[in-house]
C-alpha cells in the first residue's frame, strides 16, 4: 500500500495540529475535501463538535483560525487581504483586521540574538539599550538604544527560533497547496502551488532584515531632494540578517490631528505632502511603500514627514507602468471594450472568463463614474468596487497591483482625515504628465525603436535556420505520411528564395514600425534635428524596399 502524504510527512505533529484547528474553527468540509481526516485523533474523526467561534461568520472564523495558527499564517492572511482576486470582499475585510502582536519576550533572549549575530554582547555594542520594547510582534521585537557615538536608534531584532518554525509551516503550506490543486474545483482556476511559492519567497525575504535596510536606503536616494520627507539612516555596522538598526525618529503621529494643530503645523499641507510623496513613488519611481498605515509615519518639525518600516514594498517596472497608463486611458474614455482588451493583453484574463459578462460589468463601473468630477471620485470607493468584480471574473492581477490599490486607498483615507477637501487626482496630475512625457519623449521612442529593431534582427537571424531545419526534416521523409516530396532540391531552392523575401519583408516592416514610432517626435523646421533625419531616412528606406519587394513578387 502506497503511503499517503501525511503518513510519510516529516512535520507530522505540526500537520496534525493544523488539521485539528481547522476542525475546531468549523472548516470540516475543507478537511474532508483534502482527505485529511486520517490526521485527526480517532474520536474527532467521527464526532466533530465546533468549540470555537460558533457565533462568528465564516470570514471572522478564518481570521481567528489564522491567528491561532501563528506567525506564518498571520502573514499569509495579511497577504491574502491584498488579493481580492482570490477571496470575496467579506473575507478581504475580515483578514485586513489581522493583528500581528505578541507578548514581549525577556530582553535576555534579545541580547542572545544580538550576540549570535555580531559576536559581541549588547552592552559592548550599545552605550544604552532600553529593556522595555517599543513594539512586540510575532516575528520581531523593537527596542530603543544609543550607539557609542551618541546617536539614538531603534533596534529591530528577530525573535529566537523564528526561522525553523516558519520553514516547517511553509513546507506544510506547500503540501496543502498541492492537495488543494488536485482535489478542489478551485484548482482549475488558480495555481495554488504558485501562490504558496510566491508567499514563501515573500516571507523569507521579509525575514532577512538586510533587504529592509536596502529598501530604506533606496527610498533615501529616491527622495534625497525632497524637503518634506525624511527617511531614517541605516546603521549597517549594527545590522545583519536578524538585526536592523535605524535612526530613531521623533514627532507627532500623522493621524493625530489635535497634536498636529497643537504643534502649530498645517494639516492640509501635510496631506498634500504625503499624497505627493506616494504619487511620486508609484508613477515616477515605480517603487512604493506598500504599508502606509498611520503608525508608520510621523510629522516632525517643519511639517516634515518621517517614514518608517520598509519591509513591505511594491514594484512597478516601466513596462507595467506604461501598460497601466494605456489601461487608464481606456477607462477615462469609458471604453469598456478597450479596458477588456488591454487586460487581456496584460495577461490578467484567463481563457475561462466570460468576456461579454466582464465587459458588461466593466461598462457599468465606467458609466457609474463617467459623469462625476474627478474631485468627487474616491480611490477607496473605486477599489471597493473592483474587488468583487475581480473575484467574480477570476482576474489574475499581480500582487503589486493589489498592493498599489490598497496603498492609494490608505493614503487617500489619511489625506481626508488631515484635510476633508483633499483631492488626490489634483495632486497626481503633474506626475501623470511627467510619466506621459517619459513614455513619449524622443529618447524613450528611440530606445523603443532600437529595442524593436533588435527583436526583429534576432528573428531574422533565427528564422532561416529554423526553416532550413524544417526543410531538412521534410527532405528525410519525416512527414511522408501526409505528402511525398517530389524534388527536395527544387523545394529547398524555392524555400531559400521564400526565406530571403520573407526576411526582406520583415526588415521592411521593422523599418516602417520604427519610422512610425519616431515620426511624432520629428520637427521638420530647418535645421532638422537627428530625430527628423532618422524619420526621413526611414520613410525613404521603407519606400525603396517596398517598391523592390513589389517588383520581385511580380516575377514568376
Sign, CA dihedral 111-117-120-124, equals negative
Read out DSSP for 453-481?
HHHHHHHHHHHHHHHHHHHHHHHTTTTTT
Q: Compute CA distances 123 → 73, 110, 141, 364, whole Å.
A: 35, 12, 18, 64
Grid coordinates of 519:
515620426
**What residues contact 57, with CB distance under 8 A and at least 6 apart?**
90, 94
Residue of 100, 208, 266, 291 marked catalytic: 291
Q: How far apart are the first and last CA of the chain?
A: 71
Q: How far from the centroid of its chain's Cα atoms is residue 269's Cα?
A: 30
- Enumerate the H helices of 120-231 as residue ranges: 122-125, 162-183, 192-206, 209-222
Is there a catalytic annotation at residue 291? yes
Specify whether the CB–CB gap between 456 and 506 falls below 8 A.
yes
Q: Residue holding cell 500623522? A: 254
Of 238, 237, 211, 241, whose CA–CA distance to 155 is shortest?
238
Q: Residues in the chain, how many?
A: 556
Grid coordinates of 160:
529566537
Degrees, nearest 5: CA angle 227-231-233: 125
Specify whether the CB–CB gap between 145 and 156 falls below 8 A.
no
CA distance 374 to 423: 8
Grid coordinates of 186:
478551485
The backbone region for 314, taken as left when phi is positive above 0, alpha when psi lies in -120 to 50, beta otherwise, is beta
Specify whether the CB–CB gap between 229 and 273 falls below 8 A.
yes
Of 473, 477, 494, 493, whose CA–CA distance to 485 is shortest?
477
Specify whether the CB–CB gap between 98 and 91 falls below 8 A.
no
The residues assigned a catalytic role are 291
Amino acid at each position: 500500500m502506497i503511503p499517503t502524504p501525511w503518513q510519510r510527512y516529516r512535520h507530522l505533529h505540526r500537520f496534525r495540529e493544523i488539521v485539528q484547528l481547522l476542525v475546531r474553527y468549523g472548516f470540516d468540509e475543507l478537511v474532508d475535501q483534502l482527505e485529511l481526516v486520517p490526521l485527526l485523533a480517532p474520536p474527532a474523526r467521527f464526532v466533530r463538535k465546533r468549540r470555537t467561534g460558533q457565533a462568528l461568520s465564516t470570514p471572522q472564523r478564518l481570521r481567528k483560525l489564522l491567528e491561532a495558527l501563528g506567525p506564518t499564517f498571520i502573514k499569509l492572511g495579511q497577504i491574502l487581504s491584498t488579493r481580492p482576486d482570490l477571496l470575496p470582499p467579506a473575507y478581504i475585510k475580515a483578514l485586513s483586521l489581522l493583528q500581528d502582536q505578541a507578548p514581549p519576550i525577556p530582553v535576555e533572549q534579545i541580547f542572545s540574538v544580538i550576540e549570535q549575530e555580531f559576536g559581541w554582547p549588547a552592552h559592548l555594542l550599545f552605550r544604552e539599550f532600553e529593556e522595555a520594547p517599543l513594539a512586540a510582534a510575532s516575528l520581531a521585537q523593537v527596542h530603543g538604544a544609543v550607539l557609542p557615538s551618541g546617536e539614538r536608534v531603534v533596534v529591530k531584532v528577530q525573535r529566537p527560533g523564528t526561522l525553523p518554525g516558519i520553514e516547517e509551516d511553509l513546507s506544510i503550506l506547500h503540501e496543502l497547496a498541492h492537495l488543494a490543486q488536485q482535489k478542489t474545483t478551485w484548482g482549475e482556476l488558480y495555481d495554488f502551488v504558485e501562490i504558496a511559492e510566491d508567499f514563501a519567497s515573500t516571507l523569507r525575504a521579509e525575514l532577512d532584515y538586510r533587504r529592509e535596510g536596502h529598501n530604506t536606503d533606496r527610498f533615501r536616494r529616491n527622495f534625497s531632494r525632497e524637503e518634506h520627507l525624511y527617511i531614517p539612516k541605516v546603521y549597517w555596522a549594527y545590522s545583519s540578517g536578524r538585526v536592523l538598526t535605524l535612526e530613531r525618529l521623533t514627532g507627532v503621529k500623522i493621524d493625530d490631528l489635535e497634536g498636529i494643530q497643537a504643534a502649530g503645523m498645517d494639516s492640509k499641507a501635510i496631506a498634500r505632502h504625503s499624497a505627493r510623496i506616494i504619487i511620486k513613488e508609484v508613477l515616477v519611481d515605480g517603487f512604493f511603500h506598500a504599508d502606509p498605515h498611520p503608525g508608520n509615519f510621523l510629522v516632525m518639525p517643519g511639517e516634515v514627514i518621517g517614514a518608517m518600516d520598509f519591509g513591505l514594498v511594491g514594484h512597478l517596472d516601466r513596462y507595467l507602468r506604461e501598460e497601466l497608463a494605456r489601461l487608464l486611458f481606456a477607462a477615462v474614455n469609458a471604453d469598456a471594450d478597450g479596458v477588456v482588451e488591454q487586460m487581456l493583453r496584460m495577461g490578467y484574463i484567463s481563457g475561462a472568463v466570460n468576456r461579454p459578462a466582464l465587459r458588461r460589468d466593466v461598462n457599468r463601473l465606467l458609466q457609474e463614474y463617467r459623469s462625476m468630477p474627478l474631485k468627487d471620485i474616491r480611490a477607496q470607493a473605486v477599489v471597493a468596487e473592483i474587488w468583487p468584480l475581480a473575484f467574480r471574473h477570476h482576474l489574475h492581477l499581480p500582487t503589486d497591483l493589489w498592493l498599489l490599490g490598497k496603498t492609494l486607498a490608505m493614503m487617500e483615507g489619511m489625506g481626508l482625515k488631515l484635510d476633508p477637501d483633499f483631492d488626490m487626482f489634483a495632486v497626481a496630475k503633474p506626475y501623470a504628465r511627467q510619466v506621459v512625457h517619459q513614455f513619449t519623449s524622443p529618447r524613450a521612442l528611440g530606445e523603443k525603436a532600437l529595442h524593436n529593431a533588435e527583436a526583429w534582427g534576432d528573428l531574422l537571424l533565427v528564422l532561416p535556420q529554423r526553416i532550413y531545419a524544417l526543410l531538412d526534416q521534410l527532405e528525410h521523409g519525416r512527414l511522408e505520411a501526409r505528402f511525398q516530396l517530389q524534388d527536395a532540391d527544387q523545394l529547398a531552392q524555392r524555400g531559400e528564395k521564400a526565406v530571403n523575401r520573407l526576411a526582406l519583408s520583415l526588415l521592411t516592416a521593422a523599418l516602417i514600425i520604427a519610422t512610425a514610432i519616431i515620426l511624432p517626435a520629428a520637427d521638420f523646421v530647418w535645421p532638422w534635428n537627428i530625430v527628423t533625419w532618422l524619420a526621413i531616412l526611414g520613410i525613404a528606406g521603407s519606400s525603396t524596399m517596398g517598391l523592390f519587394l513589389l517588383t520581385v513578387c511580380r516575377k514568376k
